[in-house]
């Protein structure tokens, strides 16, 4: 087992979800570019992993956990490095590529509270390695409950711990082997301050009366089932709005599916095989032959010529479909049972009025309780309450919110105000006729 202590620059976590990074470093923050203590690893063999796990088991308190993937490079979302830290013992970096599972770690440490930042991103790949905490503390989610607009690890470390990390390798191809030394420094720093950050954030939650809110959110996050596959994921193709007809949409779908199949087989990110822009351009050009397709700008390179027959076959298949098998135009009701909210005012003005009222109410509550609106009440719950409203009284609204997945603390804060918003919308319905 190798002990490392390099002095190389590190980088920021890069896991902010939905908020911008801090533009500048707080003056009081101390720049940290190397871990304060040596770390173990990367450990690779079962024997090395077992020995490192014994060291961690001798530590105290919660377990700080992070994982590095190769998003944007690989099709899979597997973990290519797992970082573990506990008070009193060295940080451990585990390379799971060869072993494929970490049962020994789970048996020894699974009963601890695990501290992660943006846990929803890492829990799926950790579970692929048979790692699952009994209890969770998510520092990023806690920051949202505290009303922070910027919740990257870098920003929260500046705010709560007075340290800052240099920009680094969050977007690197972590499937690279061997991993460069400076990347390992970055990885070790990712968990270096998670435990003191957890303690500082927990103290702020306690001060603000939000400890129970956080406990409910962490438990929900930990128990959440795997994210279901998207309905019609091809509709998220960048530039798809330029596909003007159902036949062109069928072409985008066919190319997306052909690309996805190849990407999965090769474990390469789909965009690295064929850019979205190339698919849309091919559909709009409607080439008559594979040679015509190969003459399009994006398809001229050797990589695309290699797969030209595949792409042309997909387009030909889309052209051969009967009208009954063509996809519906964008803007029709989705799998959730309602159209995009941008069309509510035109199609269902009463629902649009309810939606506006509930959103305004949640925004007011967000400001009152200093918690991000999305964490106060999920947007999907808001939309469903507006589209298919329960009776406008607190008890019925509370039942509906609970059925839609709201936590007890959210129901307690929101049921009565949302009920009032629904009542107002009913008495102030617009003088419009749904189309």
Q: Which two tokens stand for residue 278?
A: 């190339």
Query: What confidence tier does 339 reach under pLDDT thresholds 50, 70, 90?
Result: confident
Which tens digits make up the pLDDT trace of 281-332?
Answer: 999 999 999 999 999 988 887 877 889 999 999 999 999 999 999 998 875 5
Under the banding of pLDDT at 50, 70 and 90, the label for residue 431 is low
Which positions ≥6 away from 22 have C-beta within 8 Å?
150, 152, 154, 155, 158
pLDDT in the model for residue 21: 36
Alpha helix segments (H runs only) across 193-307: 194-207, 211-223, 246-266, 270-273, 276-285, 290-294, 302-306
Share of the chain above pLDDT 90, in %: 79
Rounded CA separation 156/166 (Å): 14
User: What mean pLDDT is reported for the chain?
Assistant: 90
Q: How far apart are CA 19 and CA 107, in angstroms?
A: 36
Q: Are 430 and 403 in contact (CB under 8 A)?
A: no
> What pLDDT, on a 0 to 100 scale, did the predictor assign at position 199?
98
Higher pLDDT, 38 or 61: 61
Is it the case that residue 19 has pLDDT exceeding 60?
no
In sequence order, what are the beta bridge partners of 67? Answer: 82
- For 123, the token pair is 């829990």
Q: Tally DSSP H helices, then E strands, for the chain.
A: 20, 9
DSSP state of 3: E
Question: pLDDT grade, residue 142 (50/70/90)?
Answer: very high
- Here the tokens at position 219 are 């438990």
CA distance 138 to 114: 8
CA distance 287 to 309: 12
209: nearest Cα among 435, 413, 423, 415 = 413
Ramachandran bin of 380, using left for φ above 0, alpha for ψ from -120 to 50, beta for the remaining angles: alpha
pLDDT at 332 (0 to 100): 52
Selected residue with higher pLDDT from 11 and 313: 313
Higher pLDDT pick, 339 / 371: 371
Q: Which domains does the chain have, with CATH numbers?
A: 3-223 (3.30.420.10), 233-325 (1.10.150.80), 341-427 (1.10.150.80)
* Pick from 13-27, 199-213, 214-228: least confident: 13-27
At 55 the pLDDT is 97
For the beta carbon of residue 216, count every other beta carbon within 10 angstroms: 14
Residues contacting 366, CB < 8 A, separation 6+: 147, 372, 373, 376
Under the banding of pLDDT at 50, 70 and 90, the label for residue 248 is very high
- For the segment 392-426, what is each residue's pLDDT rounded down to a tens digit? 999 999 999 999 999 999 999 999 999 999 999 99
Looking at the predicted structure, is the pLDDT value of residue 2 above 80?
no
Would you say 143 and 132 are in contact if contact means Cβ atoms under 8 Å apart? no
Using CA atoms in the order 200, 203, 205, 207, what is the torsion angle rounded to 10 degrees? -140
Q: Does residue 15 contact residue 154 with C-beta atoms inside 8 Å?
A: no
| Mean pLDDT calculated for residue range 95-121 | 97
Q: pLDDT: is 407 or 4 the higher one?
A: 407
Task: Kindly indicate the confidence band of residue 333, based on its pLDDT and cuts at 50, 70 and 90.
Answer: very low
End-to-end CA distance of the chain: 70
- Whether 8 shows a pLDDT value over 60: the answer reads no
Give yes or no for residue 260 having a pLDDT over 60: yes
Assign residue 155 a region (left: φ > 0; alpha: ψ between -120 and 50; beta: otherwise): alpha
- Candidates 419, 232, 430, 429; CA nearest to 333 is 232
> What pLDDT, on a 0 to 100 scale, did the predictor assign at position 384?
96
Report pLDDT for 272. Answer: 93
Comparing 112 with 8, the larger pLDDT belongs to 112
Segment 344-402, tens digit of pLDDT: 999 899 999 999 999 999 999 999 999 999 999 999 999 999 999 999 999 999 999 99
| Total-model pTM | 0.86
What is the structure's pLDDT at 428? 77
Nearest to residue 156, comparing CAs of 273, 272, 12, 38? 12
Span 135-156, mean pLDDT? 96
Residue 146 confidence class, pLDDT cut points 50, 70, 90:
very high
Helices marked H in 322-406: 344-347, 349-369, 373-376, 379-387, 394-403
Cis amide prior to 178 (ω within 30 degrees):
yes
Q: Which residue has the higher pLDDT, 166 or 257?
A: 257
- The answer to whether the beta carbons of residues 253 and 246 sit under 8 Å apart is no
Query: Using alpha carbons only, how large is the chain's radius of gyration in Å?
Result: 25
For the beta carbon of residue 325, count every other beta carbon within 10 angstroms: 10
Please say whether the beta carbons of 143 and 156 come within 8 A: yes
Residue 204 and residue 182: Cα distance in Å, rounded? 34
Query: Does residue 282 contact residue 318 with C-beta atoms inside 8 Å?
Result: no
Q: 3-state SS of the chain: helix, strand, coil percent to 5?
A: 50, 10, 40
Nearest Cα neighbor of 151 from 298, 4, 21 is 21
* Distance between CA atoms of residues 415 and 395, nearest Å: 8
Per-residue pLDDT, 433: 44
User: In this model, does residue 334 exceed pLDDT 70?
Assistant: no
| pLDDT exceeds cutoff 50 at 217 | yes
Q: How confident is the model at residue 168 (pLDDT cuts 50, 70, 90)?
A: confident
Q: What is the pLDDT of residue 388?
A: 95
d(CA 110, CA 108): 6
């Amino acid at each position: 087992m190798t002990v490392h202590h390099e002095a190389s620059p590190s980088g920021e976590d890069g896991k902010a979800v939905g908020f911008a990074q801090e533009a500048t470093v707080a003056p009081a923050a101390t720049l940290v570019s190397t871990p304060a203590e040596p770390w173990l690893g990367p450990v690779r063999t079962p024997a090395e992993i077992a020995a490192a796990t014994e060291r961690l088991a001798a530590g105290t308190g919660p377990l700080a956990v992070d994982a590095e993937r190769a998003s944007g490079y690989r099709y899979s979302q597997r973990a290519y490095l797992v970082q573990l830290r506990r008070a009193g013992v060295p940080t451990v970096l585990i390379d799971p590529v060869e072993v494929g599972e970490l049962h020994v770690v789970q048996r020894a440490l699974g009963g601890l509270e695990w501290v992660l930042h943006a846990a929803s991103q890492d829990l799926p790949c950790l579970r692929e390695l048979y790692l699952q905490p009994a209890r969770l503390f998510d520092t990023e989610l806690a920051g949202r409950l505290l009303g922070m607009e910027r919740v990257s690890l870098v920003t929260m470390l500046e705010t709560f711990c007075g340290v800052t990390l240099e920009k680094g390798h969050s977007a690197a191809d972590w499937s690279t082997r061997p991993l460069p030394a400076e990347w390992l420094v970055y990885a070790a720093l990712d968990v270096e301050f998670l435990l003191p950050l957890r303690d500082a954030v927990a103290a702020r939650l306690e001060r603000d009366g939000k400890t129970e809110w956080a406990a409910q959110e962490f438990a929900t996050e930990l128990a959440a089932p795997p994210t279901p596959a998207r309905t019609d994921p091809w509709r998220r193709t960048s530039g798809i709005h330029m596909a003007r007809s159902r036949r062109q949409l069928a072409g985008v779908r066919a190319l997306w599916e052909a690309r996805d199949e190849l990407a999965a087989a090769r474990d390469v990110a789909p965009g690295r095989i064929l850019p979205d822009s190339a698919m849309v351009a091919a559909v709009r050009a409607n080439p008559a032959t594979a040679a015509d397709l190969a003459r399009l700008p994006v398809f001229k390179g050797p990589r695309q010529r290699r797969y030209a027959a595949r792409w042309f076959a997909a387009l030909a298949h889309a052209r051969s479909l009967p009208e009954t098998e063509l996809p519906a135009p964008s803007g029709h009701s989705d799998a959730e049972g309602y159209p995009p909210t941008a069309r509510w005012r035109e199609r269902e003005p009463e629902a649009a009025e309810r939606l506006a009222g509930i959103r305004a109410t949640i925004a007011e509550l967000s400001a009152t309780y200093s918690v991000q609106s999305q964490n106060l009440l999920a947007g999907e719950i808001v939309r469903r309450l507006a589209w298919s409203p329960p009776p406008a009284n607190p008890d019925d609204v509370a039942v509906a919110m609970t059925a839609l997945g709201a936590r007890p603390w959210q129901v307690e804060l929101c049921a009565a105000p949302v009920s009032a918003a629904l009542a107002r919308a009913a008495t102030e319905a617009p003088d419009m006729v749904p189309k």
